[in-house]
Structure 1
Amino acid sequence: MLHLLPRTALVVVRARRRPRLGIWEASTLPLRALPTDVDFAGHINNGQYFGLFDLGRFDLMVRAGVWDGAKRRGWLPVVQAEQIAFRRSVTLGTRFTVESRIIGLDERAVWFEQRAVVDGDVAVRAFICTRLRAKDGTPVSNEDVRDLARELGHDLAAEPVLPEWLHGWRSDIALPSARTPLPHAWGTPAPAGV
């Protein structure tokens, strides 16, 4: 994903020049499928979508002012879980948009819905569960995230309610904390719902 670093820097620079967004508003990031995005079949590689969706989240967070506020506090974003579904291929050279919005917060995470859209039609949709971590690696509470949003002038009364099914999905696929041993052995199912 090293090839995404220059593209990420470009998205951040351009986002600073684009109209400001409310934290609950959707971001639209115009892109084109580049040779570094596609696989041997000539369409965007399934794994590459997550990198492209990172760009969409950067665009939204910079334009909402959250990126600079988080950086001042020493917070860094991490992804905890993600799921994706595909309707159609996006091929080399195709212009498309990455549509990104926050769909809610749970007790620990900030959730995004993101879509790759070609000519107004959804090609790919993903749900991304994210956290912010402090410099020392400790998780930032969502109350601290809300405090930052308030400080930036965002309307917390407009905060969306996370769809209930995502709570269940996250619980079903969760792995234990990184501080808990999880030895690898095929045939021994990893504990779910931890």
Structure 2
Amino acid sequence: MRLLRLGGGQMNLYFRLLLLWLRLRRRGAIGLWDTAVTPFRVVPTDLDPFGHMTNSRYLTIMDVGRIDLMMRSGFWSKMKDKGWYPVVAGQTITYKKSLQPWQRFELRTRVLGFDERWGYTEQTFCVGDVVYAQAFVRTRFLKRSGGSVEHDALEKVAGGFPVDREVPNWLVELTAATRIEGSAK
């Protein structure tokens, strides 16, 4: 009964998560450091009054893309076993072209890396090789029992962090510049 009372955006998210779950086995496993390519189509509930995909829907779809990467890489089940969960701490997105009704597109999600506090992910909306939007997401992993997951524990569960990947300096600087006064360190 609760699902019937949810708004269109929440129903859209749950529907897309159900489709993702149903397609997981067919799509196959990937590594946590690979790029997850998740297919989508713009549906009428994605549209704003101007007839293209609304800004907020991009963020919802990005959630699904990150879940796709974590589930297909096996990281999702490892997190759940530890009692951890990810939260978005910040994100920036640049829109280059509008996605139109019924247009097929794919979301390419890849982990850029980690620093001592944050995980950084790049997510790109593409139609073929054309980039429609690109986002960078800063995440943190929390424990259901309270507190944040320590860097070393996260690295161990992830199977190590690649040494050949670096978070771009501009993204680290943006993180520092957007720190809200009075927030936890």
Q: CA RMSD in A?
A: 1.7
Q: Deviations over 1:133-176 (max 9, x none)?
A: 111331112221111122xxxx6445621111111100101114
Q: CA deviation at 1:33?
A: 0.5
1:82 aligns with 2:79: no
Correspondence for 1:118 among 102, 106, 127: 127
Q: Specify whether residues 177 and 100 from structure 1 end up closer, same or farther in structure 2 by C-alpha distance, changes over 3 A only.
A: farther
1:131 aligns with 2:140: yes
Percent identity between matched residues is 32
Q: Deviations over 1:98-138 (max 9, x none)?
A: 00000111111111000110122000000000111111331
Query: Superposition pairs for residues 146-161 of structure 1, below 5 Å?
Result: 146-150=155-159, 156-157=161-162, 160-161=165-166
Q: 1:12 touches 1:58 (CA, 8 Å); kept in 2? A: no
Q: 2:113 touches 2:161 (CA, 8 Å); kept in 1? A: no
TM-score, with normalisation over the residues of structure 2? 0.88
CA distance in 2, matches of 1:61, 1:37: 24
* Structure 2 residue ranges without an equivalent (≥5): 1-8
Q: Which amino acid is 1:137 matched to? A: G
Q: Which amino acid is 2:79 matched to? A: A
* Structure 1 residue ranges without an equivalent (≥5): 180-193
Q: Which amino acid is 2:20 matched to? A: V
Q: CA deviation at 1:43?
A: 0.8
TM-score, with normalisation over the residues of structure 1? 0.84
Match of 1:175 in 2: 180
Query: Superposition pairs for residues 46-61 of structure 1, below 5 Å?
Result: 46-61=55-70
Greater percentage in helix: 2
**Count of equivalent residues:** 176
